[in-house]
Amino acid sequence: MTSIAVPPSAPEHTGSRLTRVLGAATAVSWVVWLTYGLVLSPADVVQSESVRLFYLHVPLALSAYLGFTVTLVGSILVLRKNSAFWDQMAGAGAEVGLVLAGLVLVTGALWGRPTWGTYWVWDPRITATTLLFLVYLGYLVVRRLDLDAEVRARRAAVFGIVAFINVPITRYSVQIWNSLHQEATLSLTDTEMDGSQLTSFALGAIAMALFTTWLIIHRFRVGWLEYELDRSGLESAILERRGERTATEVV
Amino acid sequence: MIAAVAGDAARIVAKDLRIERATGVITTQILPFGIVMLLLFGFGVDPALQVRGGDRSVLAEVAPGLFWITVLLALLLVVGRAFAVESDDGSLDALLVAGVHPAAILGGKAVVVAAELVVLELVVGAGAVLMFDVTIGDPLHLVVVMVSTTVALAGAGTLFLAVVAGQRGRDTLGPLLVLPAMAPVLIGATAAAGDALYGAGSGGIAWTWALVAFALLYSVAGIVGAGALLEDV
Amino acid sequence: MFVEYVVAGYGISAIVLAAYVGWTLRRGRALSRQVPADRRRFLRD
């Protein structure tokens, strides 16, 4: 077991200087992004106000991929180094990514209703994102399996890697399948952006990425605490068992 | 090394096929499942309904998709069974302790699963020809599609269900892991099979190549991932 | 036009993210009190 110098006062929360700096940057960037995207920038000529959903939707999607990329990297390092640190990192990335991906679907549907007249179309991005959502939901359930921590970490890592490989395959397959069945529809990222829209979008992407990084660090620390609690619980249970056994042997 | 692994895999295949023959699960449970699905599709999609402006029934038109959905659902049953045979009495651990390489176990299981799926596909396919009035335009193309899809499904199904092997709740978690990930295979297999049957040009030979690639991908992933999945079960 | 969809989109996202952030931070506080101080690795930079 690694022993690390005990800090004089271990914090009783998951914040640190890093997260406070990131948190402050997140707050500032959100104010700038929301002010510009919702108030200062003009409505779109074609889409009118609903274009503002785009400033939220695409940054959410990019950040969801950021989370899933953390899961991929973490999964690879779990298999290479048997690292509990990266196992928790992979879990944090997937959970945050899943929350964001869920919001991608919600905001996409809300954008689709005024634009296409329906909440759901068999658009490749929407369809592939829904599948992606389900795959990572499965990943998180695997992480809750009642298994030895190391075995579970490795099994989840294999699934995490294969799941990520599946992302582009699914995306591409659905796109080709879709192109055979219907005319290309106006898609969120096909929109031609003018200057103010591009600015709103870029601000949103930065703001959401900062937020996501901040959140993944916090979620990782929560996961780490759970891991330590599990382990110390297990250890004390073993100690107790040993104590009982010695007691009976003595008798 | 490779020869030893292949030899172990072959022994596992032989063992599992003996078990299957003795218990008859494939003939008494899996095949009847396929036939029931054929009947259900007939009830769900009126067999008398004709494609507007075409000379085929709607049922015949959508038969490739229904066929592969049936195979996909049967895959869950077949793989679940392949692992239940081992993990219920802890013989998976015994195999590993005996020094059998994890890749041999997963590979052997995948081969057995593929063999059982082929039997199911032949029966369900014959049923579709008889009951849905499906015609086969290009039999050779169809064979390639069926073989590559079967290998892809068996490989991926074995890999994903190995993740939950021996766990409580595996019967309900398995579908969540396997089905969304198999969307590309289902899309490709349906398009390619439609092409082989009716030559409608629904993507042409490209999907068939994609299926061959999926088959290779999941076979390789299964062999590479086996060690990480099954060691220290 | 369509302002209601924009409000719904931002509103739902804000509620979901706030709830998730709140859950994460509160759970972090609760857990860090239960874990012995020398085991609270990675809580500092």
Q: Which two tokens stand for residue A242?
A: 């040993």
User: How far apart are the two ends of chain A, measured CA to CA in Å?
Assistant: 33
Which residue did the predictor score with more confidence, B40 or A236?
B40
How many of the other CB atoms lie within 10 Å of CB of B202? 17
Contact between chains at B180 and A148 (C-beta distance less than 8 A): no
State residue A215's pLDDT score.
Answer: 97
Mutate to test the interface with A, among B159, B163, B179, B187 (most CBs of A within 10 A): B163
User: Do A200 and A36 contact (CB within 8 A), yes or no?
Assistant: yes
For residue B28, the distance in angstroms to the closest alpha carbon of chain A comes to 31
Average pLDDT (C2-27) is 94
Q: Which two tokens stand for residue A38?
A: 């919702």
Contact between chains at C25 and A48 (C-beta distance less than 8 A): no
Average pLDDT (A20-24) is 93
Say whether A44 sits in a helix, a strand or coil: strand
Rounded CA separation B17/B22 (Å):
9
pLDDT band at A101 (very low <50, low <70, confident <90, very high): very high
What are the angstrom distances between the C-alpha of B144 and each of B147, B192, B207, B210? 5, 10, 11, 12
User: Do A173 and B184 contact (CB within 8 A), yes or no?
Assistant: yes
Instruction: Give the closest of C2, C17, C31 to A222, CB-based.
Output: C31
Interface of A with B (CB under 8 A): 79, 131, 134-135, 137-138, 141-142, 145-148, 150-151, 154-159, 161-163, 165-166, 169-170, 172-174, 176-177, 180
User: Do A160 and A71 contact (CB within 8 A), yes or no?
Assistant: yes
Alpha helices, DSSP H, located in chain B: 2-23, 25, 31-44, 58-87, 91-97, 102-132, 139-163, 170-181, 183-198, 205-230
Rounded CA separation B162/B159 (Å):
5
Range of lowest pLDDT (A125-129, B8-12, B213-217, C9-13): A125-129
User: Do A68 and A167 contact (CB within 8 A), yes or no?
Assistant: yes
Q: Is there an interface between A and B (3+ Cβ pairs < 8 A)?
A: yes
Listed by number, the residues of chain C in 5-44 with a beta carbon closer than 8 Å to a beta carbon of chain A are 5-6, 8-10, 12-13, 16-17, 20-21, 24-25, 27-29, 31-44
Query: How is B162-227 classified by DSSP, letter by letter?
Result: HHTTT-TTHHHHHHHHHHHHTHHHHHHHHHHHHHHHH---SSTHHHHHHHHHHHHHHHHHHHHHHH
State residue A251's pLDDT score.
Answer: 45
Distance of CA A102 to the CA centre of its chain: 10
pLDDT band at A164 (very low <50, low <70, confident <90, very high): confident
Which residue did the predictor score with more confidence, A223 or A42?
A223
% of chain A residues with pLDDT over 90: 44
Which residues of chain C lie closer than 8 angstroms to A17, CB-CB?
45
Asked if C4 is an interface residue toward chain A (Cβ–Cβ < 8 A), one would say no
Rounded CA separation B32/B72 (Å):
15
Average pLDDT, whole number, for chain A? 84
What letter does residue A147 receive in the DSSP assignment?
Answer: S
Place of tokens 């996501």: A212
Residuewise pLDDT in 10s, chain B (233 residues):
788 888 888 998 988 888 888 888 888 888 999 999 999 998 998 888 887 777 788 888 899 999 999 999 999 999 988 888 777 667 777 888 888 888 898 899 999 999 999 999 999 999 999 988 888 888 888 999 999 999 999 999 999 998 887 777 777 888 999 999 898 889 889 888 888 888 765 556 788 888 898 898 888 888 888 888 887 54
State residue A183's pLDDT score.
Answer: 46
Listed by number, the residues of chain B in 175-194 with a beta carbon closer than 8 Å to a beta carbon of chain A are 176-177, 179-181, 183-184, 187-188, 191
Tell me the backbone φ, ψ of residue A75, rounded to 5 degrees. -65, -40
Instruction: Give the closest of A150, A159, A173 to B183, CB-based.
Output: A173
Asked if B80 is an interface residue toward chain A (Cβ–Cβ < 8 A), one would say no
Average pLDDT (A168-172) is 79
Chain C, nearest residue to A54 by Cα: C6
pLDDT band at A75 (very low <50, low <70, confident <90, very high): very high
Chain A, nearest residue to B214 by Cα: A169
Which residues of chain B lie closer than 8 angstroms to A157, CB-CB?
228
- The DSSP bridge partners found for residue B42 are none
State residue A184's pLDDT score.
Answer: 44
pLDDT band at A78 (very low <50, low <70, confident <90, very high): very high
Q: Which of A167, A157, A199 is CA-nearest to residue A64?
A: A167
ipTM of the shown complex: 0.92
Mutate to test the interface with A, among B61, B62, B164 (most CBs of A within 10 A): B164
pLDDT greater than 60 at residue A5: no
Rounded CA separation A89/A74 (Å):
6
Extents of the domains making up chain B: 2-230
Which residues of chain B lie closer than 8 angstroms to A131, CB-CB?
180-181, 183
State residue A103's pLDDT score.
Answer: 96
Rounded CA separation B17/B85 (Å):
11
State residue A185's pLDDT score.
Answer: 47
% of chain C residues with pLDDT over 90: 58
Average pLDDT (A112-122) is 82
User: Do A97 and A136 contact (CB within 8 A), yes or no?
Assistant: yes
pLDDT band at C41 (very low <50, low <70, confident <90, very high): confident
pLDDT band at A33 (very low <50, low <70, confident <90, very high): very high
Q: Which of A14-23, A48-57, A96-105 has the highest average model confidence (pLDDT)?
A: A96-105
Q: Which residues contact B159 (CB under 8 A, 6 or more apart)?
A: A158, A162, B106, B218, B221, B222, B225, B229
